[in-house]
């Protein structure tokens, strides 16, 4: 065990003018996994975050809702916190930038910067909305691009041609706030002289563990020269008023990162911990910020410079990740892939998403794609099919034959050792934020454990009472391998791991605990640790996030790719329908199937052309065999036959049913009107 580290970690502060979406969750999940990993290894690791609450957008949003900014951010904070909790983001503290701690630290930093000669005042000309009586940020002026004449472009740059310009160059500018034409006004602003810190920043850039791509980007910025940064805004503005400049407020991006410190200060005060020791220059504690690549400039230049200039320590590193795409494309409201965190948790469990993101996250800045189809197969296969399966397939033997007690020694200690030998490299992958690599190794071990069980065949051994010891040994071995896997996956799957710990006897697993196997003790009654994801839930999720398309003036074009209707189901053409061979069928026999309480085995007659078929139908909960015999119904006859453990199912009986999950399933098989006979085609 290495020396105990003291680590402070943050993820970017979510902006308080709207709900969290899955892009936010990539970041908090990435951060949370890293933090949980550090804690699992026994380090002192604090994870703090906060809502970012200041700025013009929040002020205007509150105005439009007819509430105060304070009311708006209080409500959003509750929403954010509920989402973050649902995804098991284990903050040590979640605070707000609109807090006394933040005001205190922002003033302290500002005063230090001013004393150090890093603040300069000068007049700027800026767009002013006379109707709304406010200065307008660039994003709140729209007009025609002076370069390419594209209409409806923002005041700072053109999305069409990529040109950047200043707001007064815009043709026919309009204030987004009031619709009036902005005028130019002069105002005194405060500037942070970033260039004063070039030497320090260059040193910082090369001192730590910045990702290569980040270093490249910084070099680019250095080479074009560091510009002063306007840190003030005129009233009206929601934020902190500048102490020696009445009517001026700190720009939200000054006090936002200080919000990291404020959240930690809030935590320290609650617990009576020393704040300064973590933030003084040269502190032996470690500081890391997880951010998206869109805010790299703020975190890698302004922020270290502000910290340094204000007499605080600088971060050890910023860890930058890419963006989230869904089904290979940018998140889109019209496609239903702008998925909010809250709608995800309404439709789907959150841990599988943690797992999926982890399986795709490396240490680089690459974008990460959430392919929803991949998500379902990956998660079902890895978590249920592989991981949980190990415990599931052994627990029965332990319960039936050994009173849930584990054997007192492992039959294959070498295999156990083999697992332990993998721990250091898995730890290194986690440490480097290469979760995809870590999970690859962990899942390879899960395969190894399943293979072991398969080779030992406890189900065969169990038939011979004299070989009970061997069965016991195999299960004990497998459960112990499972225990290692659970420990390794705790950072990613805290909830599943918690349930597994209960099954294993109730002790919380730390990294070192698996050095010794669990022997001779009792395990608890096994309960399903995870359930498969139903692809239908994905469709429902997409539908729920779909915003109505603006009616198109173009007639709908014929399109071979799947389209989606209002409730999120794929549309199908008449040609698609023609692929289905639907037939009237007569049920000539129905019987229970040994070993299942879901299925009935049906023999159906679908006419002279196709003859009789065997179909297994999951309708036992609703029908007794005698109720079905001699009935007519509808059968999907050219469904690909499916091999089941009870035999081959050669079709599907059509039935209507609710998706009730309370076990009381209502199922109704379909019947034709009288006159129809077996074999008729449905069209």
Subset of 21-80 contacting RNA (CB under 7 A): none
Per CB under 7 A, contacts with RNA among 380-399 are 381-382, 384-386, 388-389, 392-394, 396-397
For RNA, the closer of residues 110 and 375 by Cβ is: 375
- Decide whether 389 or 404 has the Cβ nearer to RNA: 389
Q: Scanning residues 268 to 297, which ones bind RNA (CB under 7 A)?
A: 293-294, 297
* Contact present, 230 and 340 (Cβ < 8 Å): no
Within 458-534, residue ranges assigned H as helices are 458-461, 468-489, 494-504
Binding positions for RNA, 295-314, rule CB under 7 A:
297, 301
Element (H, E) at 393: helix 389-402
Beta-strand relationship, 6-11 and 286-292: parallel
CA distances from 338 to 58, 229, 629 (A): 21, 33, 49
For RNA, the closer CB: 21 or 95 = 21
Contact flags string 162-181 toward RNA, x per CB under 7 A? x-x-----------------
Please list every residue from 626 through 645 that binds RNA, using CB under 7 A: 642, 644-645
- Give the per-residue contact string, 643-662, with RNA (x = CB under 7 A; - = no): -xx---x-------------
| Residue from the set 261, 262, 365, 407 that interacts with RNA by CB under 7 A | 365
Query: Shortest approach of RNA to residue 681 CB, angstroms?
Result: 25
Three-state DSSP class for residue 665:
coil
- Sole binder of RNA in the list 92, 169, 367, 431 (CB under 7 A): 367
Minimum Å gap between C-beta 329 and RNA is 8
Task: Give the Å distances, CA to CA, from 176 to 55, 127, 153, 171, 591.
Answer: 16, 12, 11, 15, 70
CB neighbours of residue 59 within 10 Å: 19
Q: At closest approach, how far in Å is the CB of 179 from RNA? A: 25
- Cα distances (angstroms) measured from residue 617 to each of 30, 86, 420, 604, 612: 43, 37, 46, 11, 15
Residue 204's Cα: distance from chain center in Å?
31
Q: Are 416 and 397 in contact (CB under 8 A)?
A: no
Contacting RNA within 516-535 (CB under 7 A): 528-532
The minimum distance between CB 197 and RNA, in angstroms, equals 12
Report the nearest approach of RNA to the CB of residue 586 (Å).
21
Tokens representing 666? 């209502």
- Least spacing, CB of residue 298 vs RNA, in Å: 8
Sheet strands (E) in 247-401: 248-250, 286-292, 317-321, 324-326, 368-370
Residue 431: half-sphere exposure toward Cβ, Cα within 13 Å: 11
State which of positions 437-466 bind RNA (CB under 7 A).
437, 440, 443-444, 447, 450-451, 453-454, 458-460
- Looking at the Cβ atoms of 105 and 462, the one nearer to RNA is 462
Measured distance CA(68)–CA(88) in Å, rounded: 30
Closest approach of RNA to the CB of residue 263, in Å = 24
- The nearest distance, CB 141 to RNA, in angstroms, is 15
301-316 exposure pattern, b = at least 16 Cβ within 10 A, e = fewer: bbbbbbbbbbebbbbb
Report how far apart, in Å, the C-alpha atoms of 84 and of each of 24, 38, 74, 137, 215 are: 10, 20, 15, 31, 31
Residues 222-261 that bind RNA (CB under 7 A): 224-227, 229
Residues 329 to 348: which contact RNA by CB under 7 A? Answer: 330
For residue 591, CA distances in Å to 444, 494, 616, 644 come to: 42, 44, 10, 16
Nearer to RNA, 528 or 536 (CB): 528
How many angstroms separate the CA atoms of 595 and 425, rounded? 44
Q: Which residues ranging from 552 to 591 are in contact with RNA (CB under 7 A)?
A: none
Quote the CA–CA distance of 568 and 86 in Å, as a whole number: 25
Smallest separation, CB 524 to RNA (Å): 15
Place of tokens 């902190």: 240
Binder of RNA out of 366, 412, 431, 534 (CB under 7 A): 366
Q: How far is the CB of 4 from RNA (least distance, A)?
A: 30
- Choices 27-35, 116-124, 166-174, 360-368; region in contact with RNA by CB under 7 A: 360-368
Closer of 151 and 444 to RNA (Cβ): 444
Pick the closer one to RNA by CB: 39 or 193: 193
Three-class SS state of 261: helix
- Within 458-599, strands assigned E span 582-592
Q: Taking CB under 7 A as the criterion, which residues in 394-433 touch RNA?
A: 394, 396-397
- Interface residue with RNA, options 105, 320, 368, 442 (CB under 7 A): 368
Please, which residue, 20 or 600, has the CB nearer to RNA? 600
Give the residue with the Cβ less far from RNA, 609 or 662.
662
* Shortest CB 160 distance to RNA, Å: 11
HSE value, Cβ hemisphere, 13 Å, CA-based, for 228: 14
Among the listed ranges 3-11, 240-248, 359-367, 654-662, the one in contact with RNA (CB under 7 A) is: 359-367
Binder of RNA out of 68, 334, 377, 464 (CB under 7 A): 377
Task: Kindly identify the residues of this chain, within the stretch 587-616, that bind RNA according to CB under 7 A.
Answer: 596, 598-599, 616
150 binds RNA (CB under 7 A): no
Query: How near is the Cβ of 32 to RNA at its closest, in Å?
Result: 21
Per CB under 7 A, which region of 28-36, 358-366, 486-494, 581-589 contacts RNA? 358-366
Contact 92, 47 (CB under 8 A): yes
Considering only residues 184 through 223, tell me which ones interact with RNA, judged by CB under 7 A.
Answer: 212-213, 216-217, 220-221
Which range, of 88-96, 104-112, 322-330, 625-633, touches RNA by CB under 7 A? 322-330
Long-range contacts of 538-541 (CB under 8 A, 24+ apart): 538/347, 538/348, 538/372, 538/373, 538/375, 538/376, 539/568, 539/569, 540/347, 540/568, 541/339, 541/343, 541/344, 541/347, 541/348
Strands annotated E in 345-436 = 368-370
- The whole-angstrom separation of Cα 378 and Cα 492 is 15
Please state the closest distance from residue 607 (CB atom) to RNA, in A.
Answer: 24
In the complex, minimum distance from the CB of residue 418 to RNA, in angstroms, rounded to a whole number: 15
Binding mask 478-517 for RNA (x = CB under 7 A): ----------------------------------------
Nearer to RNA, 66 or 465 (CB): 465
Total residues contacting RNA (rule CB under 7 A)? 73
SS3 211: coil
Number of H helices, E strands in the chain: 23, 25
């Amino acid at each position: 065990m290495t020396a105990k580290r003291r680590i402070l970690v943050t993820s970017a502060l979510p902006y308080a003018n709207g709900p969290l979406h899955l892009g936010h969750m990539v970041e908090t999940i990435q951060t949370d996994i890293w933090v949980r990993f550090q804690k699992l290894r026994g380090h002192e690791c604090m994870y703090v975050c906060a809502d970012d609450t200041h700025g013009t957008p929040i002020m205007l949003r509150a105005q439009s809702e007819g509430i105060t900014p304070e009311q708006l951010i209080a409500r959003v904070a509750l929403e954010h916190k509920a989402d973050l909790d649902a995804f098991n983001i284990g903050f040590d503290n979640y605070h707000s930038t609109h807090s006394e701690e933040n005001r205190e630290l922002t003033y302290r930093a500002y005063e230090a910067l001013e004393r150090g000669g890093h603040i300069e005042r000068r007049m700027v000309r800026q767009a002013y909305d006379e109707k709304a009586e406010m200065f307008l940020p660039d994003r709140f002026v729209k007009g025609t691009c002076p370069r390419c004449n594209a209409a409806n472009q923002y005041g700072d740059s053109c999305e069409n041609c990529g040109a950047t310009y200043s707001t007064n160059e815009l043709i026919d500018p309009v204030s987004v706030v009031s619709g009036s034409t902005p005028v130019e006004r002069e105002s005194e602003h405060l500037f942070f002289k970033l260039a004063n810190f070039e030497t320090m920043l260059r040193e910082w850039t090369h001192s730590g563990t910045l990702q290569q791509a980040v270093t490249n980007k910084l070099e680019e910025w250095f080479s074009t020269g560091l510009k002063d940064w306007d840190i003030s805004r005129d009233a009206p503005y929601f934020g902190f008023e500048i102490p020696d400049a009445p009517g001026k407020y700190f720009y939200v991006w000054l006090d936002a990162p200080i919000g990291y410190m404020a959240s930690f200060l809030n935590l320290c005060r609650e617990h009576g911990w020393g704040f300064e020791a973590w933030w003084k220059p040269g502190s032996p504690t470690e500081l890391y910020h997880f951010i998206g690549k869109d805010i790299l400039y703020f975190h890698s230049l302004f922020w270290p410079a502000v910290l340094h200039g204000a007499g605080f320590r600088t971060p050890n590193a910023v860890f930058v990740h890419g963006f989230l795409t869904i089904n290979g494309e940018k998140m889109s409201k019209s496609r239903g892939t702008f998925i909010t965190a809250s709608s995800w948790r309404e439709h789907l469990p959150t841990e599988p998403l943690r797992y999926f993101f982890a399986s795709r996250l490396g240490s680089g800045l690459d974008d990460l794609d959430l392919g929803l189809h991949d998500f379902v197969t990956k998660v079902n296969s890895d978590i249920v099919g592989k991981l949980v399966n190990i415990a599931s397939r052994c627990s029965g033997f332990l319960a039936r034959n050994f009173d849930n007690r584990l054997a007192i020694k492992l039959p294959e200690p070498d295999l156990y050792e083999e697992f332990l030998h993998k721990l250091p490299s898995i730890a290194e992958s986690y440490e480097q934020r290469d979760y995809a690599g870590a999970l690859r190794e962990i899942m390879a071990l899960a395969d190894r454990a399943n293979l072991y069980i398969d080779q030992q065949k406890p189900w065969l051994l169990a038939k011979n009472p004299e070989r009970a010891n061997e069965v016991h040994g195999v299960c004990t071995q497998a459960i112990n391998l499972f225990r290692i896997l659970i420990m390794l996956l705790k950072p990613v799957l805290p909830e599943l791991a918690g349930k597994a710990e209960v099954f294993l006897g109730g002790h919380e697993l730390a990294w070192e605990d698996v050095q010794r196997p669990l022997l001779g003790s009792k395990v608890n009654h096994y309960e399903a640790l995870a359930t498969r994801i139903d692809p239908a839930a994905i469709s429902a999720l997409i539908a729920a996030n779909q915003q109505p398309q603006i009616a198109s003036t173009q007639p709908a074009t014929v399109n071979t790719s799947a389209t989606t209707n209002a409730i999120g189901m794929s549309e199908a053409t008449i040609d698609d329908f023609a692929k289905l061979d639907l037939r009237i069928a007569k049920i000539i026999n129905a019987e229970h199937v040994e070993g299942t309480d879901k299925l009935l085995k049906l023999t159906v007659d679908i006419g002279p052309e196709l003859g009789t078929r065997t179909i297994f139908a999951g309708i036992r909960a609703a029908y007794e065999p005698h109720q079905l015999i001699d009935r007519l119904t509808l059968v999907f006859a050219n469904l690909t036959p499916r091999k089941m453990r009870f035999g081959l199912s050669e079709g599907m009986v059509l039935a209507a049913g609710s998706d009730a999950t309370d076990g009381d399933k209502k199922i109704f098989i379909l019947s034709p009107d009288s006159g129809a006979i077996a074999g008729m085609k449905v069209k």
